[in-house]
């Protein structure tokens, strides 16, 4: 009875159960956020697009990371190395190795989700090229980091991350953190340029900019995790000392998926007008009544049909109907001039 009780109660010699509790609570929150993002956008556009695929992939890889850490706990995370068998230590390293791979993939797809929204917002080719340049950089950096994590140790035992047959892991995680922070900064700069050019009230701009740049709030978490990783690097008791870095890994990967879903929530999407970029007036003039980026053509046509039927029921003449329709078209779809947009600032 005592042995069974000690296995589930976290104490000084077995901190693994606490990792599981934190893991599964954050996992549920992350999955709900990602699914809410996909559902909210589906309600608005009735389409499953690339950003939705990136969100689902990021969620799945983050889930796989959490599951791998659960196996890591079962194999000995949070317990002293001296209490583990040789087979248990091998299983521990395999689970830790898998969690690192899933962690890297989830972060890459989460950033790609936000970049894909930027591509949807823009119509100007020059700005789109900038977004694609950052997207390609993110994809390349994710692949490079994934290969570095995958082959950090000898090819005969790739999973043996706590052996002496690995290259400088401290340098690996330093480079990982630097690249991660640089990508977050690049996304923040892109968001600033995009939101700055929108015709909308300042309060709305600030709200949208905060939703796009929420990932900046994760930078201190990246730095904190790096500090713990470097502090515990080369430890003689890695299964016990990996407790804090593993929890920070969970918090960061789940938070990244959650923060990447914030710009796609319905209140934010409803406030983003389509085709109101100052430099894109000519390219967006033919858009017509589709004033908002995520409004549907079906809803626009139904409103126009309802308006025409109402005019006819009131007995208006054909000429009056045409004039009223033109007035409505001009009032809704005509973009403001560049001079008016600039003077409004």
Question: pLDDT per residue over 223-240, tens digit each?
Answer: 999 999 998 887 888 888
pLDDT for res 325: 43
Give the model's pLDDT for residue 329.
Answer: 43
**Cβ atoms of residues 232 and 244 within 8 Å:** yes
DSSP for 243-283, written as a single string: HHHHHHHHHHHHHHHHHHHGGGSHHHHHT-BSS-BGGGHHH
Which pLDDT score is estimated for 258? 93
Q: What pLDDT score does 271 carry? A: 58
Contacts of 320 (CB under 8 A, 6+ apart): 311
pTM score, whole prediction: 0.74
Tokens for 295?
A: 């409004």
Which residues in the chain show pLDDT less than 50? 1-8, 274-345
Q: Report the DSSP beta bridge partners of residue 273.
A: 292
CATH topology of domain 2-274: Rhopdopsin 7-helix transmembrane proteins (1.20.1070)
pLDDT in tens, 121-177: 776 777 788 889 999 999 999 999 999 999 988 877 888 888 778 888 889 999 999
pLDDT in tens, 74-92: 988 888 888 888 888 999 9
- What was the pLDDT predicted at 330? 41
The residues, any chain, with a CB within 8 Å of residue 191's CB and separated by 6 or more, are 118, 209, 212, 213
Three-state SS at 138: helix
Q: What percent of the chain has pLDDT over 90?
A: 36
60 with 113: CB under 8 angstroms?
no
pLDDT, position 118: 83
**Residue ranges per domain, the chain?**
2-274, 296-343
Question: Can you give the pLDDT at residue 233?
Answer: 82
């Amino acid at each position: 009875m005592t042995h069974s009780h000690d296995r589930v109660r976290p104490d000084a010699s077995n901190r693994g159960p606490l990792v599981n509790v934190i893991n599964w609570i954050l996992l549920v929150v992350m999955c709900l956020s990602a699914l809410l993002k996909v559902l909210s956008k589906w309600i608005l556009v009735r389409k499953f697009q690339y950003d939705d695929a990136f969100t689902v992939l990021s969620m799945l890889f983050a889930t796989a990371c959490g599951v791998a850490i659960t196996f890591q706990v079962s194999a000995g995370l949070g317990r002293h190395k001296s209490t583990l068998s040789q087979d248990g230590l091998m299983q521990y390293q395999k689970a830790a190795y898998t969690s690192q791979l899933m962690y890297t993939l989830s972060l890459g797809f989460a950033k790609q989700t936000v970049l894909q929204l930027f591509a949807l917002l823009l119509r100007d080719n020059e700005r789109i090229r900038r977004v694609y340049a950052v997207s390609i950089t993110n994809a390349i950096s994710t692949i490079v980091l994934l290969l570095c994590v995958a082959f950090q140790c000898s090819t005969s035992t790739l999973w043996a991350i706590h052996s002496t047959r690995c290259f400088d892991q401290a340098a690996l995680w330093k480079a990982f953190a630097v690249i991660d922070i640089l990508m977050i900064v690049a996304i923040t700069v892109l968001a600033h340029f995009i939101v700055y050019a929108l015709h909308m009230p300042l309060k709305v701009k600030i709200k949208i900019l905060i939703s796009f740049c929420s990932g900046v709030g994760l930078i201190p978490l990246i730095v904190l995790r790096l500090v713990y990783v470097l502090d515990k690097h080369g430890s003689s008791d890695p299964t016990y000392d990996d407790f804090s870095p593993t929890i920070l890994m969970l918090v960061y990967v789940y938070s990244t998926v959650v923060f990447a879903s914030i710009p796609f929530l319905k209140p934010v999407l409803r406030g983003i007008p389509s085709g109101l970029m100052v430099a894109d007036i000519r390219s967006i003039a033919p858009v017509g009544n589709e004033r908002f980026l995520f409004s549907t053509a079906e809803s626009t046509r139904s409103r126009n049909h309802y308006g025409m039927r109402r005019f006819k029921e009131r007995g208006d003449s054909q000429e009056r109907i045409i004039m009223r329709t033109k007035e409505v078209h001009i009032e809704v779809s005509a973009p403001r001039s560049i001079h008016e947009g600039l003077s409004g600032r």
